[in-house]
Structure 1
Amino acid sequence: MNTFTDAKSSQSIFTFFDFDSLIQPTKNQDTEIVKQLAFIPGIKDILMLRQVHALEHATVWVLSELNNTAQNSTDQLLGGLSTEQGFYLYGHINQATLHSAVKIALQRLIEGEWRLAIHPRCGTNISVGFLLAAGLTVGFHLLLPRGPIEQFFGLGLAATTAAYLAPDVGMLAQRYLTTAIPFNLAVENIKMTRDVWGQTAHFIAVRWIESSDNQTSKRQH
């Protein structure tokens, strides 16, 4: 998953849906899903990717908050790319600030700040926009007369409707399909590296932990 955002991204999109009223996952739900569906190849990797994606979004939100608190410039662009091993974060970021942001983001997600897992500039929204545009274009093409004027009108209507719906539908797609609360993630390390395209980035490596490991960790603390 890919995310590109600036710190001044508007949160007005959240006013369309009441995300707090949606059914939230239980702490053991994801672990149970993996156990029940273990026969499906890659099911654990898919779930881990969803959790990493959520942590990526939350880290970007927290970095924006920390930058505002420190009265630093918040106009810089941050880019993110999630994998099942962790996520890349692109941009000029202070290493100590990043360490703090990841820790805070993970804790706040686990404690119930579900909105941090959703971001209006996520690549999911772009993908949803393309799918909506394609679907609506085909639909209007079949429904409207074959005349060039009618077809051109249908194309414009499809594009306009898709642009209007994409942010809200994309948010729901993120909530239910491409992100999951990272109950089963622990941060291993954060380091500077290069991605597969040779770009310099911070890589936040994570590992999967079972619910029993979570309980043991809490007792030790």
Structure 2
Amino acid sequence: MSTPILDFFGFDNLTRPTQAQDTELIQQLAFIPGIRDILMLRQVHALEHATVWVLSEQSSYQSTDSQLLAGFSTEQGFYLYGHLNQATLRSAVNIALQRLTGGEWNLAVHPRCGTNVSTGILLAAGLAVGFHLLLPRGPVEQMLGLGLAATMATHLAPDVGTLAQRYLTTAIPFNLAVGNIKLTQDAWGKAAYFVEVSWIDRATIN
């Protein structure tokens, strides 16, 4: 997934960690309270994105339905909203996990992720403050600054959001095993499928 910003800074040439490197990193950071929950949430987030990609690629799945898919990740698993059936979802999750751990790391990033929205808001706010401080205090200049901030944020948000997903909010799910998948309700009472996952301690297995 190459973009101008990724090319300019050379980020597209960076590689995701291998399973051995991932396990070593977890061991090194084990002293930090809550680090496993953070790492697990990042891995679940990646699996959620990859599952949506796999469902979107299936010829039997209507493109209009794939546009309606949405997900929400937790440390215990992820919710998936949309027109699905349990068997199709389980197959997609297993395929997604296999492809992610097999090297298809681009599946961890999705353009409709909330990270992109959050990044856009932060960029717009930061640029607006910057232009406010740099430009004269006249109303015309300030309105021009707000317009420039909004335009630049809209242009930069997809690329910066991609970077944030790749290196901050997702991680390859080397330590996840898929558990039960059930139709349930989220905290707001909305119907969704919940994909349970469990943590595999690779250090003890190896």
In the superposition, the TM-score normalised over structure 2's length comes to 0.92
- Of 31, 37, 55, 1:39 maps to 31
| 1:31-70 correspondence runs (5 A) | 31-66=23-58, 69-70=59-60
| 1:7-26 correspondence runs (5 A) | 14-16=1-3, 17=6, 21-26=13-18
| 1:9-158 correspondence runs (5 A) | 14-16=1-3, 17=6, 21-66=13-58, 69-70=59-60, 72-76=61-65, 77-158=68-149
Q: Which moved more, 1:113-122 or 1:19-28?
A: 19-28
* Equivalent residues of 1:30, 1:47 under 8 A apart: no
For 1:159, the equivalent position in structure 2 comes to 150
Amino acid at match of 2:181: I
Deviation of 1:214 (Å) = 6.0
* Equivalent residues of 2:23, 2:203 under 8 A apart: no
Cα distance in 1 between the residues matched to 2:85 and 2:70: 15
CA RMSD of aligned residues (A): 1.5
* Equivalent residues of 1:49, 1:83 under 8 A apart: yes
Query: What stretches of structure 2 of length at least 5 have no aligned partner?
Result: none
- Say whether 1:209 aligns with 2:187: no
Change (3 A) 1:170 1:214: farther
* Equivalent residues of 1:90, 1:200 under 8 A apart: yes
Cα distance in 1 between the residues matched to 2:12 and 2:142: 41
User: What is the number of equivalent residue pairs in this alignment?
Assistant: 199
Cα distance in 1 between the residues matched to 2:188 and 2:204: 35
For 2:186, the equivalent position in structure 1 comes to 195
